[in-house]
Amino acid sequence: MSDMRLAVAGAAGRMGQALIRAIASMDGVVVSAAIERSGSDILGRDAGVQAQLGEIGVAFTDDFEAAMAVSDGLVDFTAPDVSVANAGLAAQYGLVHIIGTTGCDAAHEEKIRKAAEKAIIVKSGNMSLGVNLLSVLVRQAAKALDPQDWDIEIVEMHHRHKVDAPSGTALLLGQAAAEGRDIDLDAASIRVRDGHTGPRPAGSIGFATLRGGSVVGEHTVMLAGEGELVELSHKATDRSIFARGAVKAALWARNREPGLYSMIDVLGLSEN
């Protein structure tokens, strides 16, 4: 089979640059386009130079349609409104769409679900093997431990530039815990505490967000019982783990049926 041609949306961003490097270093894929927003100063410059690779002969463009015409897949780590708009367009062109963007609200998620009726979409708040394996362990632990006796708290820390909270990964881990307990995450979540909060409601799932410096991404799920604490953690030290996961997802998704898939599907980590 010929190499899969991958367009990168948000190609000048932190993840965009990691994706350009990952695609250039992996077999079976080539960078076909590097998309940035209209008006960006970077348009016309070589995407490989920005990613510290040297010239790769692909210039940043805001011409989304031209980029789609020369691509088999779109890898998209941008912003929620951008990824939703891209999902509709990628579907029109029959492209695989890998969405790593976090911070989507219920309306964004619904539009992406709708696009996936016609498009092949893989979406995950974290594309790394380690975090997805962790989510399987969290689900098992939450299932095994009585919610009346064991409190679940999820703590995350990211770099100072991150714009959404809780992180997509924290929510993914919260969802895994909620599934283990067979409860609805939205109904059980406590995302903020301030002032006189009263005691902790039994069965709730708490989130705590830290931001600072250059931290790539650290997550700990705490299961706190009387006299003991179980901690399940993941620390990302390099964005290449997300980028390689996203490229792996694109290769996995090629020639699949339309639908909305997750990294659990890609990595074959489903417990069923």
Ligand X SMILES: NC(=O)C1=CN([C@@H]2O[C@H](COP(=O)(O)OP(=O)(O)OC[C@H]3O[C@@H](n4cnc5c(N)ncnc54)[C@H](OP(=O)(O)O)[C@@H]3O)[C@@H](O)[C@H]2O)C=CC1
37 annotated ligand-binding residue: yes
User: Is residue 167 a contact point for ligand LZUJQKHR (CB under 6 A)?
Assistant: yes
| Minimum CB–partner distance for residue 144 and ligand LZUJQKHR (Å) | 25
200 annotated ligand-binding residue: no
User: Is residue 217 a contact point for ligand LZUJQKHR (CB under 6 A)?
Assistant: yes
User: Is residue 37 a contact point for ligand X (CB under 6 A)?
Assistant: yes
User: Is residue 174 a contact point for ligand LZUJQKHR (CB under 6 A)?
Assistant: no
User: Is residue 35 a contact point for ligand X (CB under 6 A)?
Assistant: yes
- The smaller minimum CB distance to ligand X, of residues 119 and 165, is found at 165
User: Is residue 14 a contact point for ligand X (CB under 6 A)?
Assistant: yes
> Segment 100-129, which members bind ligand X (CB under 6 A)?
100-103, 124-127
Candidate ranges 89-97, 108-116, 163-171, 256-264; the one touching ligand LZUJQKHR (CB under 6 A): 163-171
Three-state SS string over the chain comes to: CCCEEEEEECCCCHHHHHHHHHHHHCCCEEEEEEECCCCCCCCCCEHHHHCCCCCCCCEEECCHHHHHHCCCEEEECCCHHHHHHHHHHHHHCCCEEEECCCCCCHHHHHHHHHHCCCCEEEECCCCCHHHHHHHHHHHHHHHHCCCCCCEEEEEEEECCCCCCCCCHHHHHHHHHHHHHHCCCHHHHEECCCCCCCCCCCCCCEEEEEEECCCCCEEEEEEEEECCEEEEEEEEECCCHHHHHHHHHHHHHHCCCCCEEECHHHHHCCCCC
| Minimum CB–partner distance for residue 177 and ligand LZUJQKHR (Å) | 15
Active site residues: 158, 162
